[in-house]
Amino acid sequence: MLAEKNILPILWGGVLVFSALVMTLGSDLKWLFEFPESLHVPIAGFLDWIMLGFVDLFKWLFRFISRVLEWPMRGVQGFLEWLPWLTFASLATFIAWQGGGRRTGILTLVLLLYIVIVGYWYEGINTLSLVIICIPLAVLLGFTLGVWGHKSPKANAVIQTTLDFMQTIPAFAYLIPILLLFGFGPVVGLIASVIFATPPMVRNTILGLNRVPPEVRESGTMSGCTPRQRFWWVEVPTAFPQMLIGVNQTTMCALGMVIIAAIIGGFEDIGWEVLGRLRKAQFGQSILAGMVIVCLAIILDRITLSYAKRQLPTESHTGLRIKQFIVGFIGISIISYILAMFIEPLRIWPKSLEFYPADTMNALVFNIIANFGDVLETSKNQMQYFVLLPVKLGFTRSIFPITWGFALTPTIIGIYWFIIFLGAAIALYFRHWKIAIAIPFIAGILYFGITGVSWVVYLVVLPLFAFSLGGTRVTLFVTGSLIFLMVSGIWVPALVSIYLCSVAVAICIILGGLMGIWASTSERISAIIRPINDTLQTLPQFVLLIPAVMFFRVGDFTALLAIVAYAIVPMIRYTEQGLRTVSPTAIEAGITSGCTPAQIFWQIKLKLALPQILVGINQTTLFGLNMLVIAALVGTTGLGQQIYLALSKVDAGGGIVAGLGMALIAMSADRMMRAYISRTSK
Amino acid sequence: MPSANSVKLSCESLWKVYGNNPEQYFTDEIGSFNVEEKFQNLTENGSIIACGDVKFDIPTGSIFIIMGLSGSGKSTVLRCLSRLVEPSFGKVELDGLDLLNQSPKDMIEIRRHKMGMVFQNFGLLPHLNVLENVAFPLKAQGISKNERLARANEMIDLVGLEGRENSYPHQLSGGQQQRVGIARSLAAEPEVWFLDEPFSALDPLIRTQMQDEFLRLQRQLNKTIVFVTHDFHEALRLADTICIMKDGQVVQIGTPSEIVLAPADDYVKKFTSEVPLWKIIEAQSIMEPPDGKEVDRPSVKPDTLLEEVMRLFDGKTEEVQIVNESGECHGVLTPVSIIRALYRDEKKVG
Ligand SMILES: Nc1ncnc2c1ncn2[C@@H]1O[C@H](COP(=O)(O)OP(=O)(O)O)[C@@H](O)[C@H]1O
Ligand SMILES: [Mg+2]
């Protein structure tokens, strides 16, 4: 213990001096700043080679699967297109009502009517039919794997690691090998969705089965069940509520992926519509279409969730009995079908009755931009000049008289470093060695920029950082990941991704933290924020891009906004939850021992809530990295763009390497955070 | 007394060991190894001995209570008897049938027809209502729906839950849930009834009430019962025989008054120290030999509790005689002998 206490400051001091030397004395050595090509390992090429070999061998099999799947898919699609919208809408409403009562029913009806009236029924149904076919496949697959994982510890170990990877590898990266194996076409979207949507079902199945109380299982055995009876009559029903949560998550994942898969096109669905309109800068249209995605997301979420909630002891709405439900279902089908046969608009909503105010909305957007363009532009520029560029390129390459009002003269540089070292010295004087080390490092990053620091420095600093947080295993993982990113030739885009994500996460921590604190003190604020958070989290990430692009065009800032909008949610949630669950006794103890309100907040509440808040930060980081890839659609550089480019070239090796790189960054961040969390909560 | 009846369920040399590969230590025959040595070997090897060298016989129709602190291996022994837990070693016999040699299929048949079990936290199926829960063991046997619901209804009446047939477990109080558990365990009319701390999760008042109900049911049904509890008072109230366990081993087996009067060691003594002895000790167990005097004094039956005997000592009475059914005098009790017994005079006890 003593040895470790002494060795860490010395190591950090050494690394600090080393980094300073590299950055100053080595500034002329090109190889220090560009990872030497001679050290590259052709991982991408190798993966490509394997992949192509695999494809050559097994293409026939996968193409066969693709064919087999195409039939039911076309069938369902054709059927739903043929079905009068009235029939579909009334049946969906009936199902929603059965699950969640009047409110869910009405909500479903209203949202479906929006889709009808706006004239996106065809596209909406196309998307929905993919989701509808995807759900049973993913649920069945997930259930089977989950049961297997529950029964066999060995299988469980393999399944858990695979799921970890699947959740951190960006969805786009999946698409490439799937494209290669299954060929272009809508089936690819289906298969990608099934793969992407299965993990939550697996997890929840395992969770549910593992959580069946041992006494319940034993009571099955003692009731004289055979193992099979016990499984189907005791274990599965007891785990069923948890599995329904899995169905809900699976459904949402499926929708998200179906929409993302639209970028490979070939299918007239709503994702394609949004993307196409967005690319043509037709914002009114893309908002109207985007709203359709929002409607579908809310409908699917509420219906699946209502069936999951119905299993809870507290739920009062039980709906009809199965037999009555079936009768009602058939009755509604027949009546609505007959109605639709006689009244044409109830079958196919006529163009003339469509309400499609895209032009008005475009005019409105132009108006806003015309009126507030200056404000928008200024805020964007300020953010660019004073935050994004310094973090990315460093003060040396971002401070210019036109933007900052002064040039970076040697005097100013001198003053800058003088203040920094003064700060570090003061911290050292008060024996806060961690702060004393952190100040020059942060100052250095701002000075040189994340992309301007030598890879050698990263290679010593990050492993030491991981070691200080976690221990040997985390350190090895982080080091391995760094080496992978460097030798596979994606180091520069990786740094760009890290830069954008760091800024987004920092903003999320500050803004989300403040909002969480606010929400924890006021029921009203909490009640306002919660549904917004819920909605942000159920929406396919893709939709968040629309408003960002609308007002700020493409670029880093736009991506930043979209990432923050998505990744801020866990930060707010966990902060609020952490603060709210601080035990009242601890606070009372503080009050009675004479703490001021400020002391109570900082030293008791925040301290006790810290583990939760850290979990929130961890989630926010993962969400941010996840969204980063989606944001590549609106033109960020970095790993996301690499994946996207690889996708358009169907370059399997490149795509997998970039996707793996992204996953390794996410997993490294996650492991470091978790190591730290487990240490602080002890 | 039940001890005169035949043995229904018995076990011998019963071991359950958790740890790495404990089977290697049990290759020899029953009775051929030294128990203490085995304990030592297993402990050194880092295994957990949940129960070791347990042996007892349970007569038909009696209430056998396993008592001990938590972690002492009570549940493990109980579960070994029904093979919910597979014993590492030993012998379990039901009606002379060696249970550990039964195939899984036969075991299912035995559980279906001969065994019922009640759990501490009820173990009810959350998705079934009261009626379906009670009928569940019959469903597993493949009995037709009408018949099993009719039988379940009878059971529900038996435990006094009429009117709650359509409620779900979460809508019931703890006491009601345990009534469902009891009804379910009796639905298939088992011969052996296992109860693992059935009343421990209930409030004290409800607990006493349920104990009364339990005794009422047993008078009516006359099952062979293995009942686990950590509550010594409960054991005293309900037991014909108490088996006290400590760290996986049986410390003492005996009737309540045997245990109270002659605790085998300090561990058992600790339980008995807070017990109101006059409510447990019977006159016959501490009486002195008959003195042959022909004086006028109150008579009591041999199994009268001291509590009642003590009431007879008014100003004039100095002795009470114990008389059996045919009027013979078995012995006498004086205030001194009672005080000695209550203060545990070691000489008198035993
Ligand atoms: N599945 C198991 N694995 C390891 N140890 C166990 C297991 N089940 C029980 N034990 C151990 O066996 C001992 C006896 O447990 P148990 O029979 O449940 O005690 P009781 O019912 O008297 O509280 C305890 O020390 C417990 O930790
Ligand atoms: Mg127990």
Say whether pLDDT at B327 is over 90: no
Residues B272, B332: one domain? no
Q: Which candidate from B108, B123, B170 shows the least CB-CB separation from A218?
A: B123
Q: Whose CA is nearest to atom 21 of ligand 1?
A: B75
Beta-strand pair B7-18/B48-59: antiparallel
Q: Would you say B12 and B2 are in contact if contact means Cβ atoms under 8 Å apart?
A: no
> What does the block give as tokens for A494?
């990786």
Per the CB < 8 Å rule, is A219 touching B184? yes
Radius of gyration of chain B (CA): 23
Please indicate, yes or no, if residue B22 is contained in any of the structural domains: no
CATH (domain of B258) = 3.40.50.300
The whole-number pLDDT of residue B12 equals: 92
Q: Is residue B28 part of a domain?
A: no
Asked if B285 and B155 sit in the same domain, the reply is no
Q: Do A313 and B123 touch (CB under 8 A)?
A: no
Q: Which residues contact B99 (CB under 8 A, 6 or more apart)?
A: B81, B83, B92, B93, B107, B110
Residues B178 and B201 in one domain: yes
> Can you tell me which atom of ligand 1 is nearest the CA of B245?
22
- CA B185 to chain A, closest CA, distance in angstroms equals 8
Q: Does B2 score more than 50 pLDDT? A: no
Task: Read off the pLDDT of residues A19-76 as tens digits, 9 standing for 90 and up.
Answer: 998 888 887 888 888 888 888 888 888 888 888 888 888 888 888 888 888 888 889 9
Of all protein residues, the one whose alpha carbon is nearest to atom 24 of ligand 1 is B71
Domain co-membership, A416 together with A556:
no
My answer on whether B225 and B302 are in the same domain is no
What pLDDT shows up at residue B347? 43
Do residues A422 and A524 share a domain?
Answer: no
- Strands of B48-59's sheet in order across: B48-59, B7-18, B89-94, B97-98
Shared-domain flag, residues A440 and A317: no
- C-alpha–C-alpha distance, residues B312 and A436, integer Å: 88
Asked if residue B65 and residue B188 are part of one domain, the reply reads: yes
Task: Say how far apart CA A341 and CA A353 lie, in whole Å.
Answer: 18
pTM of the entire predicted model: 0.84
Q: Is residue B67 part of a domain?
A: yes
Ligand in nearest proximity to the CA of B245: 1
Q: How many CB atoms lie within 10 A of CB A498?
A: 20
Q: Is residue B185 located within the same domain as residue B259?
A: yes
Mean pLDDT of the region B244-254? 94
Please check whether residue A594 lies inside any domain of the structure: yes
d(CA B24, CA B80): 19
Shared domain check, B288 and B265:
no
Residue A474 lies inside a defined structural domain of this protein: no
B123 at A interface, C-beta within 8 A: yes
Query: Could you tell me which of A569, A576, A474, A601 has the C-alpha nearest to residue A523?
Result: A576
> Which ligand sits nearest to residue B72's alpha carbon?
1
Tell me: do A150 and A266 sit in the same domain: yes
Confidence at B335, pLDDT banded by 50, 70, 90: confident
- Residues B317, B237, single domain; the answer is no
Rounded to whole angstroms, how far apart are CA atoms A665 and A295?
34
Q: Which listed ligand is nearest to B120 at the C-alpha?
A: 2
- Let me know if residue A422 belongs to a domain: yes
CATH code where residue B333 lies: 3.10.580.10
- DSSP character string of A289-333: HHHHHHHHHHHHHHHHHHHHHTTSTT-------HHHHHHHHHHHH
Does any domain span residue A81?
Answer: yes
Residues B172 and B246 occupy one common structural domain: yes
Higher pLDDT, A7 or A498: A498
DSSP A665-680: HHHHHHHHHHHHHHHH
* Residue of B42, B65, B70, B75 with the most ligand 1 atoms within 8 Å of its CB, for mutation: B75
Radius of gyration of chain A (CA): 28
If contacts are CB pairs under 8 Å, which of residues 234-253 in chain A contact chain B?
Answer: 234, 237-238, 240
- Geometric angle at alpha carbon A296, from A293 and A300, rounded to 5°: 140
CATH number of the structural domain spanning residue A189: 1.10.3720.10
Ligand 1 pocket: which of B76, B78, B82 to mutate (most atoms within 8 A of CB): B76
At residue A682, the pLDDT reads 65
In a domain, B45, yes or no: no
- Domain assignment present for residue B51? The answer is no
Residue A174 lies in a domain: yes
Q: Mind telling me how many Å the CA of B280 is from chain A's nearest CA?
A: 34
User: Average pLDDT in the A193-211 region?
Assistant: 93
The token duo for B329 is 């005098």
Residue tagged 């365990």 (tokens):
B185
- Chain B hits for A211, Cβ within 8 Å: none
Q: Which residues are near ligand 2, the ion (C-beta closer than 5 Å)?
A: B 75
Q: Do the domain assignments include residue B50?
A: no
Listed in sequence order, the residues at least 6 apart from A523 whose beta carbon sits closer than 8 Å to its beta carbon are: none
Q: Is the pLDDT of residue A427 over 60?
A: yes
A544 and A676 both lie in a single domain: yes
Mean pLDDT of chain B: 88
Residue A132 pLDDT > 50, yes or no?
Answer: yes
Q: Does A224 touch chain B (CB under 8 A)?
A: yes
CB contact under 8 A, A221 and B116: no
Distance CA A434, CA A441 (A): 11
Of B277, B299, B330, the residue at which a domain comes to its end is B277
More confident position, B290 or A220:
A220
Positive or negative: CA dihedral A654, A660, A666, A669? negative
- CA–centroid distance, A298 to ligand 2, in Å, is 47
Instruction: Provide the domain count of chain A.
Output: 3
Q: How far away, in angstroms, is B63 Cα from ligand 1 center?
A: 23
Asked if residue A336 and residue A419 are part of one domain, the reply reads no
**Which range of residues forms the domain containing residue B328?**
278-349
Q: Stretch A439-460: mean pLDDT, rounded?
A: 92
Q: Under an 8 A CB cutoff, do A224 and B141 touch?
A: yes
Q: To test the ligand 1 pocket, which listed residue (B18, B20, B78, B120) has its Cβ within 8 A of the most ligand atoms?
A: B18
Q: Which residues contact A635 (CB under 8 A, 6 or more apart)?
A: A554, A555, A558, A559, A641
Q: Answer yes or no: do B272 and B306 share one domain.
A: no
* Average pLDDT of every residue of chain A: 89
Residues A290, A338, single domain; the answer is yes
Highest mean pLDDT: which range of A93-97, A161-165, A354-358: A93-97
Nearest Cβ partner of B111 from A213, A216, A224?
Answer: A224
**Beta strands per DSSP E along chain B:** 7-18, 48-59, 63-68, 89-94, 97-98, 115-118, 192-196, 224-229, 241-246, 249-254, 299-300, 320-323, 329-333
Q: What is the pLDDT of residue B348?
A: 41
ipTM of model: 0.84
Q: Are A288 and A432 contained in the same domain?
A: no
Of B226, B231, B201, B272, which Cα lies nearest the Cα of B68? B231
* Contact at CB, B111 and A234, closer than 8 angstroms: no
Total number of domains constituting chain B: 2
Q: For A604-643, what is each residue's pLDDT tens digit?
A: 888 889 888 999 999 999 999 988 888 887 777 888 888 8
Residue ranges making up the domain that contains A348: 68-352
Residue A547 lies in a domain: yes
Chain A residues in contact with B128 (beta carbon < 8 A): 237
Lowest mean pLDDT among A545-554, B54-63, B239-248, B337-346: B337-346
Residues A497 and A630 in one domain: yes
Q: What are the chain A neighbours of B116 within 8 Å (beta carbons)?
A: 222
User: Mean per-residue pLDDT for A388-408?
Assistant: 86
In tens, the pLDDT along B176-214 reads: 999 999 999 999 999 999 999 999 999 888 899 999 999
pLDDT tens digits for range A155-170: 999 999 888 888 778 8
Among residues of chain A, what percentage have pLDDT more than 90?
44
Mean of pLDDT values over A510-516: 95
How many Å apart are CA A155 and CA A150, to the nearest integer? 8
- Ligand 1 centroid to Cα of residue B68, in Å, is 13
Q: Convert the pLDDT of each residue in A262-304 to its tens digit.
A: 777 656 888 888 888 888 888 888 889 999 999 999 999 999 9
> Last residue of a domain, which of B277, B312, B335?
B277
Give domain status of residue A512, yes or no.
yes
Q: Report whether pLDDT(B140) > 70.
A: yes
> What's residue A4's pLDDT?
58
Q: Among B248, B277, B306, which residue terminates a domain?
A: B277
Residue of B nearest to A216 (CA): B123
In a shared domain, residues B210 and B286: no
In a domain, B33, yes or no: no
Tokens of A623: 């969400």
Closest by CA to B22, choosing from B90, B89, B101, B78, is B89
Are A386 and A302 found together in one domain? no
Q: How far is the CA of B252 from the centre of ligand 2 (A)?
A: 19
Tell me: do A72 and A171 sit in the same domain: yes
Q: Is B127 on the interface with A (CB under 8 A)?
A: yes
CA distance A332 to chain B (A): 29
Residue B18 alpha carbon to ligand 1 centre in Å: 9
Contact at 8 Å (CB) between A629 and A497?
no
What is the whole-number distance in angstroms between the Cα of residue B72 and the centre of ligand 2? 8
Q: Does A233 touch chain B (CB under 8 A)?
A: yes
Is residue B345 located within the same domain as residue B221? Answer: no
Distance B48 CA to ligand 1 centre (A): 8
Establish if B90 belongs to a structural domain: no
The whole-number pLDDT of residue B1 equals: 38
A14 within some domain: no
